[in-house]
Structure 1
Amino acid sequence: MKLLLLSSLLLPCFSLSAAAPAFKDPKPQRYDITKRASEIDPKAKEHPEIGFVFADKKGAPQDIQHANVDTRVAPQGKLVVWLMGYNSTLFEKVNSYGLHAIQVHYANKWFGMIPGDRRDDGKSLGNMRLEVTTGMDSSDLCDIPKPDSMMERAFQFVKWLSKENPQGKWEQFLNAKKDGLDWEKVIISGSSHGATSSARFAKQVKVDRVVCFCGPRDQLDEWQGYPSATPENRYFGFSHVLDTGWTGDHYCRSWEMMGLHKFGPIADVDISAPPYANTRRLITNFDVKGDAKRAHSSVTPGKAAAKGPDGEFLHEAVWQYLFNHPVDQTGSSVPQDEDCVKDLKK
């Protein structure tokens, strides 16, 4: 494994978009908005066969969606669409960068539904991810129509927000025809399987950038090597080296299949500093007491993340880099790592 060691100074790594409409909020504040997907779009349906329901057996809502924007911060004109459970700490951070953010209800509990003989066939995981994110008929293992896809539910949520929270100027993320999102203004992001679904979606739909925490990984699937609608330099990844996705060669495999080695070596953020030679592959090796589960969740803001003696997060600069580093600033290409096993069937 080749790592990057740097001692460069911490520099601002983002600039505001000149095209972003300024907020004109008479009472600037951070808005925290929730709404059930089933209340926004009457076309939205449940799919219990893959655990995609509006309420659990006790009646607790399962389709609550979250949106946050801080009108006290100059806007960048970009929207983070988060494909995982709501992370309030992460949303506070991206809002502080001038980014809007939403978390949508989509079919993310289907892993156990795939038959064992299909899970490692090289196609089924990616095909199901594509169907549940786009609504395209891509998998014979599920039937997710457009209104129940991540793509459509994100659009319906933003359209609703543009009316319910005019202070946030959410309408800027609608396309010219107002029949979908302007995905080139979207940062698609997630952790674990949410990171993997983000990357799979970005292969199909061009987005502003992709931020993958502890991912992507789809074991033996081949989609990571497909041509990408989103340019390769717009994918960013961050993982812990004790995460089983790393120790099992899944992350390094996916990163190289996606071409990220063309933009710099792997950077250990604990012994280097921004801008990490403009690389797209970031890792950490901070002490998690050998706990692989903590390692997996430690790269996102939260209880498992690295903190200093003062209780402050140690990876603040990393998170800023992932969401804000100019995509046209890239590192030098490096060879693929001979220690990373690509053919995991052997």
Structure 2
Amino acid sequence: MGHNQQLFESIASYGLHDIQPHYANGWFSKIEAEARDRGKVLGDIRLEAATGDDHSPLVSIPKHDGAAARSLHFVKWLAENHPKGNWQQFLTDDQSDLLWDKVILSGISHGSTTAARWAKHQKVARVVMFSGPRDQLESWQGLESATPANRYFGFTHILDGGWTGDHYCRSWQMLGLAEFGSIVNVDETQKPFSHSRRLITNCDVQENSSRAHSIVVRGREKWDRVWSYLFTHPVNQVGDPVPSDPNCTMDLRNK
């Protein structure tokens, strides 16, 4: 996701700090389809891109180019150069790492998928997933999670190809989000959306699936009540468990 000033301003208005580090995320198109689609490949590459640690033989991403290291250096720079911003609160005493229990990971599409994979490995305060996660042939979504499942929040448009193709609903179910309430349409329900972790919209996008993919991060006036929920709703307030969605195809290899 490119820089989104409206979303950044909204997040700041909730009393949160926000940064957007650039990291190694151009590997996707460089992996041969046969290797990419084996089912246990993309998650490892995403984790290497996030942490800079060696998780996949298919890529070689230096530690300093991982999202974790770049975020650390960015926050250290902000703490030194903008002390009134209180960025120091996110650093360990020796400044060797971030205090991850204060960190929210978020992104859209590729970014939301990497954020979710990273949170499986590293316990964080929350994960906000716009138009994702994808990796519809992968199994990492069902791995044991360092981040409790009630801290994952998703939001998508129902005309997004990732939704119509069952990519997102599959990931949401594998992440265990049905334990915290049914899928809620934000166009028809008031905040706090029954405390659900799975939010959708069918707002008018003129039947354009590409527009549907990005609309959930465009328009502060339209989405501020949704964004504020995603980023600030108390994680211990959850909806009632519901059965898995029988209309969501879980085996997408032949779909």
Which of the five TM-score ranges fits, normalised by the shorter chain? over 0.9
Q: Which amino acid aligns with 2:97?
A: G
Determine the structure 2 residue equivalent to 1:248.
165
1:239 aligns with 2:147: no
Q: Indicate whether 1:181 and 2:89 are aligned.
A: no
CA distance in 2, matches of 1:122, 1:176: 40
| 1:120-139 equivalence runs, <5 A | 120-139=37-56
Q: Secondary structure at the match of 1:211?
A: strand
Unaligned 5+ runs, structure 2: none
Give the aligned partner of residue 200 of structure 2: 283
Query: Does 1:345 pair with 2:253?
Result: yes
Who is 2:63 aligned against? Answer: 146
Tell me the TM-score normalised to structure 2 length.
Answer: 0.97
Partner Cα distance (1:234, 1:211) in 2: 8
The higher radius of gyration belongs to: 1
Q: Secondary structure at the match of 2:2?
A: coil
Match of 1:106 in 2: 23
1:198 and 1:95 map into 2 onto residues whose CA distance is: 20
Secondary structure of 2:203's match? Answer: coil
Q: CA deviation at 1:89?
A: 1.1
Q: Is the 8 A contact 1:264 1:279 kept in 2?
A: yes
Paired with 1:92 and 1:321, the residues of 2 have a C-alpha distance of 15
Question: Percent same amino acid among aligned pairs?
Answer: 56
Q: CA deviation at 1:177?
A: 3.2
Within a 5 Å distance, the mapping from 1:257-336 to structure 2 comes to: 257-300=174-217, 302=218, 305=219, 313-336=221-244
Instruction: Give the partner amino acid of 2:132.
Output: G
Does the Cα contact within 8 Å between 1:266 and 1:279 map onto a contact in 2? yes
**Selected match of 1:170 from 87, 95, 102:** 87
Return structure 1 stretches of 4+ with deviation > 3 angstroms.
none
Answering whether residue 108 of structure 2 is matched by residue 191 of structure 1, we say yes
More helix as a share of residues = 2
Q: What TM-score, normalized to structure 1?
A: 0.72
SS in 2 for 1:177: coil
- Give the distance between the partners of 2:123 and 2:93, measured in 1 at CA: 16
Q: Deviations over 1:188-211 (max 9, x none)?
A: 000110000000000000000000
Residue by residue over 1:169-195, the C-alpha shift from the partner in whole angstroms, topping out at 9 and shown as x without a partner, is 111100233201001000100011000
Any idea what the Cα deviations from partners look like across 1:239-263, whole Å, max 9, x if unmatched? 0000000000000000000000000
Q: How far is the alpha carbon of 1:314 from its aligned partner?
A: 2.0
Report deviation, 1:135: 1.1
Shift of 1:145: 2.0
8 A Cα contact 1:120 1:219, kept in partner: no
Unaligned runs of 5+ in 1: 1-83, 306-311
Which structure shows the higher strand fraction? 1
